[in-house]
Structure 1
Amino acid sequence: MAESNKKMSLMGLTTLVSVNMMGSGIIMLPSSMAQLGAVSLLSWIITAIGSMAIAYCFAQCGIYCPRSGGMSAYTEEAHGKSAFFLCSFLYFLSLAIGNVAIGISAVGYLTPFFPWLGSGAIPLFVGTVGLIWLTTLANFGGPSITGKIGSITVWGVIIPVAGLSVIGWFWFDPAVLSAAWNPNNLKVGDAIAQSIPLTLWAFLGMESAAQNSDAVEDPKRNVPLACLFGTLGAAVVYVLSTTVIQGIVPNADLANSTAPFAYVYAQMFNPFIGNIIMALAVMACIGSLLGWQFTLAQTAKVTADQGMFPKLFSKVSALNAPIIGMLVCGVLQTLMALSTISPNASAQFSKLVSLAAVTNLIPYVTALSGLLVIMYKAKVSPAIFTRNVAALMVAMLYSYYALYASGKDAVFGAMIVLAVGYLLYGFIAKNFVDKQPASGRA
């Protein structure tokens, strides 16, 4: 900013938080949730409350622990240097998995334009990997270009989704929603549990809400409030848009759609409008993927700068782009796409979302627990401590439930990854051990 006193207001930061969170997370959710039925909409309530508690606690961590490193730094406050590495390692993998899921979303919306992409597992894989590498190479221009593109393309999702939340009710039919309520006759608790990873996916990224505290007026007041209001704003749009779409499009058609928001606009207006929405969604997904590719490489770079990832991730070009790290990340995401290959975009998307949720939730748990030590070091007042611990318990309770709801396959996969992480840290741990006195005695 030109002048130091020109800082972001509460309203500005709240809008920023909502926009950053929405991104492309919502774009395939209606189809995935329709496979369980409209009863899955109930999970939004639980996820919204849990996400607001998590976002608030991360805001408190950022205020009282201003050191760099984000979640990994908060984790280290309570659990030591090895936990810094494991948090970074799992978060890095979660971003990589999430990028593959975003790629699949974009291919789903491209399929009506290029029907070959929806003709089987191999075309879906080729399309996803093609987008991964396209956005990887596009990031070679550096963070400035990436940021400018992302700030424009994100509206390709927000405008249609937020718009549907408002105008969609003119086409809403309660009978369609009623027929879609529970087509599989699931227990309500089971339906909610199975859809928790999907709704959590839409809120992933809330941990970044406190990163702008230096540019905000009265950060101790406004950052936590913006986290709460921004998360609540995103939740309202999510709930309204996914509810209204279930009352317009029959459940079976919605469950089989590869481009649910384009499909509903085509139903409401005409196929031409549907194609416009489809093009906007593709633009938004590619822009979102572009930004997350850079975030992935930057996460690896920050960890490498700490001496915990290979030094190749630290090397940057003249344009400040970690090109070698991006290439390695591209290869990793290609292997992930290959390992989860499926002829059904929605099924592959759901599988990846569950795994991404678990590998994100473990860093959430470790980082959130660091708030207790952070508050102790900051000598906060008893009133603030009590209030924050209450929010922390809600955040932890939701995180544990979300881990359980992600299913044994996703949790098992994440535990294997975590076990591998301990071995990897073992090889570099010697670099962080204090040297013993010359006598060898205390």
Structure 2
Amino acid sequence: MAEAAAAQANVPSHHGKVGVMGAAALVAGSMVGSGVYLLPATFGAVGSISILGWGAATLAALAIAGLFAWLSQAAPEATGMGAYVQAGLGQFFGVQTTVAFWTLCWIGNVAVALAVVGAGAYLVPGLNEAGPRLGATLVVLWMAVAISWIGPRAVARMEGLTLGVGLLPVAAAAIGGWLWFQPQVFLDAWNPQGLGFGEAIGRSALTAFWAFLGLECAAAAAGVVRDPVRNVPRATLVGVGGVAVLYIAATSVVMGIIPGAELASSTAPFADAARSVLGLGLGAVIAVCALLRAAGCLTGWTLVTAETTRSGADAGAFPAIFRTRPGERASEINLLAAGVLMSLIAALTATPTIGEQFGTLANMAVLLALYCYILAGVSLIRLAGRFEGGRRTWAIATAAAAIACSLALIAQAKPLELALAVVPLGAAGLLYLWLRRR
């Protein structure tokens, strides 16, 4: 995600600089999207104890966002996460990071497509079945490819049109939903599986971190912030903290309205919560809002996936067939490759419930992101010599905290999720050796 936002860091000075709150808005905007729409359903199986997992995920997000704030100062010439890692660890790990980020893009896109289908299933219940759900997911994915094929302007228009309506379900729940919050419903679903305290928090924290993907855009904000050395860390705290409060409040409200067992099987938790307190009509409105925002987010990330393929090929991380001329939009072969890979992962991860499939995909994407963050942390430790005195100590401490948080979250993953996440990393190593020989 840093690659997608890296261009923001190079905004010319005549466009003006922003202060702490403006930079915080940039950080928050990089995270607020479709990521939260299905999370309450995934948490329903764990129970409302998962709210504590949100707290753990927030602490990890703050540490990792701080890591990228330091990296933006240690390697200001870098233009994305892969470049940050390469600056401190060399080309091999830079390629690993690029491939891992590219993989999490198209895996995450399938999770976002499921959010679209889940909202659609509220309006067309037949989409709850595994077969129709897979078919609808494939249609949504290839529609996103088609819109991206038209060009970046079409994608930008769709993103702009859907951003505002997409915030409505989450904001409405976080602010107004407390009027219908029932403490007993929340407490009855506290820990239905009888999980250990640490296990319940750890499992939910790993999934909750999905909603924070994009926090590395804090580093990209440095180029447009007044006094970035002082203000970027502050903006990071405000932006990540603000998003955390919004998400925790919204998720808590939904868990206090919908009983746990019903929530776990929901395909559109925010719409179901609205329907249960205000009627079918408003529930449908909320479902449409979630559907539109998830669709807009998906088209944007489909284009980002194709562009990541192009930029990775230009940097030598992918075969030359994926390269494009300077200034050219993502080529057809990059979009086709993204479409095929997304279709395969949608079919291979199909499960009886949409929440279960979403959780698997989200965790795989998070694991790949955490691997990138660990490499970025090690890179910062190597680059810390560019700072002096106390600043060097703080940079190393921040990197160590980010690495520790990332490892703690990775330890919560299921063996199958870890195995699936390791596959692209092994492929990245083989790809690097093949490209070096050529």
TM bin (shorter chain): over 0.9
Candidates 407, 411, 424, aligned match of 2:414: 407
Amino acid across the alignment from 2:81: M
Candidates 151, 158, 162, aligned match of 1:142: 151
Q: Does 1:348 pair with 2:354?
A: no
Which stretches in structure 1 are left out of the alignment for 5+ residues?
432-442
Separation in 2, partners of 1:210, 1:144: 25
Candidates 393, 398, 402, aligned match of 2:405: 398
Candidates 43, 56, 75, aligned match of 2:53: 43
Checking the alignment, whether the CA contact within 8 Å between 2:351 and 2:357 is kept in structure 1 is: yes
Amino acid across the alignment from 1:225: R
Alpha-carbon offset, residue 46 of structure 1 = 0.9
Partner of residue 184, structure 1: 193
Does the residue aligned with 1:27 lie in a helix, a strand or coil?
A: coil
Partner of residue 266, structure 1: 275
Partner of residue 389, structure 1: 396
Change (3 A) 1:325 1:201: same
Checking the alignment, whether the CA contact within 8 Å between 2:384 and 2:396 is kept in structure 1 is: no
Separation in 1, partners of 2:391, 2:120: 49
Separation in 2, partners of 1:250, 1:195: 18
Candidates 261, 266, 280, aligned match of 2:289: 280
Deviations 1:172-227 (A, max 9, x none): 11111111111121111111122122111111111122223222222222222222
Structural mapping, 1:46-61, within 5 Å: 46-61=56-71
Checking the alignment, whether the CA contact within 8 Å between 2:384 and 2:395 is kept in structure 1 is: no
Change (3 A) 1:138 1:375: same
Separation in 2, partners of 1:317, 1:422: 27
Partner of residue 439, structure 1: none
Separation in 2, partners of 1:176, 1:228: 32
Amino acid across the alignment from 1:291: G
Q: Does 1:34 pair with 2:44?
A: yes
Q: Does 1:73 pair with 2:83?
A: yes
Alpha-carbon offset, residue 242 of structure 1 = 0.9
Checking the alignment, whether the CA contact within 8 Å between 1:312 and 1:325 is kept in structure 2 is: no
Alpha-carbon offset, residue 319 of structure 1 = 6.5
Deviates more, 1:105-114 or 1:145-154: 145-154
Checking the alignment, whether the CA contact within 8 Å between 1:92 and 1:300 is kept in structure 2 is: yes
Deviations 1:332-363 (A, max 9, x none): 11111111122311111111112111111111
Change (3 A) 1:357 1:2: closer
Does the residue aligned with 1:249 lie in a helix, a strand or coil?
A: coil
Among all aligned residue pairs of Structure 1 and Structure 2, give the percentage whose two residues are the same amino acid. 32
Checking the alignment, whether the CA contact within 8 Å between 1:316 and 1:322 is kept in structure 2 is: no
Candidates 98, 106, 112, aligned match of 1:88: 98
Candidates 123, 127, 132, aligned match of 2:141: 132
Partner of residue 231, structure 2: 222
Separation in 1, partners of 2:224, 2:153: 18
Partner of residue 365, structure 1: 374
Candidates 64, 68, 71, aligned match of 2:74: 64
Alpha-carbon offset, residue 298 of structure 1 = 1.4
Which stretches in structure 2 are left out of the alignment for 5+ residues?
1-10
Partner of residue 429, structure 1: 436
Structure possessing the higher radius of gyration over alpha carbons: 1
Q: Does 1:247 pair with 2:256?
A: yes
Checking the alignment, whether the CA contact within 8 Å between 1:19 and 1:158 is kept in structure 2 is: no
Separation in 2, partners of 1:357, 1:23: 16
Separation in 1, partners of 2:405, 2:433: 31
Amino acid across the alignment from 1:198: T
Calculate the TM-score normalised by the size of structure 2: 0.93
Separation in 1, partners of 2:44, 2:290: 19
Alpha-carbon offset, residue 390 of structure 1 = 2.2
Separation in 1, partners of 2:41, 2:356: 10
Alpha-carbon offset, residue 160 of structure 1 = 1.8
